[in-house]
Amino acid sequence: MIRALTTRRTELAPFLLLLPAVATMLFVVALPLIFSLWTSLTPYKLTKPNTLYDFIGLTNYIRIFGDWDFWEAFLRTIAFLTVAINVEFALGLGIALLINKITWGQRGLRTIMMFPMMFSPILVGFQFKFLFNDHIGVVNNALQSLGLTDQAIPWLVDAKLAMFSITLAEVWMSTSVFAILLLAGLFAMPRDPLEAAKVDGCNSWQVFRHITLPFLMPFAYIAMAIRSLDVARAYDLVAVMTDGGPAGRTELLWTLVARVGYDEAKMGQANAMAYVSTILSVLFTWYFYRKLVAARRYMGGAE
């Protein structure tokens, strides 16, 4: 009297529990993405609703890939992210190491560090727009009062300076993600390997390079993975600080999408660009998530 198999509801339970989450994501993200893909294959303009049904193949993609403005925004976005994230990582690591050294008031410092993370990007943008305003901004006022310069520096008007200011705002906003997670990594770091390395004759740089840093990498990848979910927040910064100006010199992929799609109402073309930006973000997240999983496995082996 042996029954071949007892199947229980428990095997369905995890899927049922996940159903609302998956359904929401499919409805609010996947479905629109499919719609967006279709739109990118049409000459759709908001002003001419019927154009949604003209299939024109890859024309939009061919057009944007042949468009220098697009490439400029694309490359600027890549450069911007590369610089911003590397600086954030380096600064975040520095801050984490610093705070790890401090024995008193660590908690308070950590809390303060979290604040920029919780700021609305639009607020960060506004804040730096306010600080960097050439007439009334506190930065110029301070520089002039101190006699370091006698004329107003056009922080948000000059193309190079504007890009610098935007990057600065981004770094200010996002460094704490790295600092906090790397600090958590330092707190979690076991003493034994450090002491073993010291006994083995490593100097402090070698200890850092061969013990501390590898241990911190999974934490860095968590930070990168979290950060990668939100890279497009830079849109908010630019939208409020320069709106892509002057003369499109701070245009990023995301602001370009908004301009082409909403201001010029060329939805077909904008969706093609949006797809490129989506793929960029997804690849970025995917890459760091994979790194995280790999690092985790490697850490698991050490435990």
- Please report whether residue 122 would count as binding another protein according to CB under 8 A: yes
> Which member of 75, 78, 90, 136 binds another protein (CB under 8 A)?
136
* Structure letter (DSSP) for residue 260: I
* Residue in 75, 88, 26 with CA at minimum distance from that of residue 96: 88
- Please report whether residue 164 would count as binding another protein according to CB under 8 A: no
Query: CA-to-CA distance for 100 and 35, rounded, in angstroms?
Result: 49
Smallest gap, in angstroms, from Cβ of residue 132 to another protein? Answer: 10
* Residue in 124, 238, 123, 102 with CA at minimum distance from that of residue 179: 102
Say how many residues touch another protein, by CB under 8 A.
106
In terms of CB distance, is 125 or 211 closer to another protein?
A: 125
> Which member of 162, 163, 180, 197 binds another protein (CB under 8 A)?
180
- Please report whether residue 236 would count as binding another protein according to CB under 8 A: yes
Query: CA-to-CA distance for 39 and 25, rounded, in angstroms?
Result: 20
Smallest gap, in angstroms, from Cβ of residue 280 to another protein? Answer: 8
- Please report whether residue 263 would count as binding another protein according to CB under 8 A: no
- Residues 33-72 vs another protein: string with x where CB under 8 A? x-xx--x---------------------------------
> Which member of 54, 65, 195, 297 binds another protein (CB under 8 A)?
297
Query: What separation in angstroms does the CA of 167 have from each of 128, 163, 184, 267?
Result: 11, 6, 26, 29
Query: Do residues 77 and 71 touch, judged by C-beta distance below 8 A?
Result: no
* Residue in 119, 299, 95 with CA at minimum distance from that of residue 184: 95
- Please report whether residue 90 would count as binding another protein according to CB under 8 A: no
* Residue in 72, 85, 121 with CA at minimum distance from that of residue 234: 121
Smallest gap, in angstroms, from Cβ of residue 2 to another protein? Answer: 5
> Which member of 56, 87, 123, 202 binds another protein (CB under 8 A)?
123
Q: Segment 92-121, which members bind another protein (CB under 8 A)? A: 95, 98-99, 101-102, 109-121
Query: CA-to-CA distance for 227 and 249, rounded, in angstroms?
Result: 25
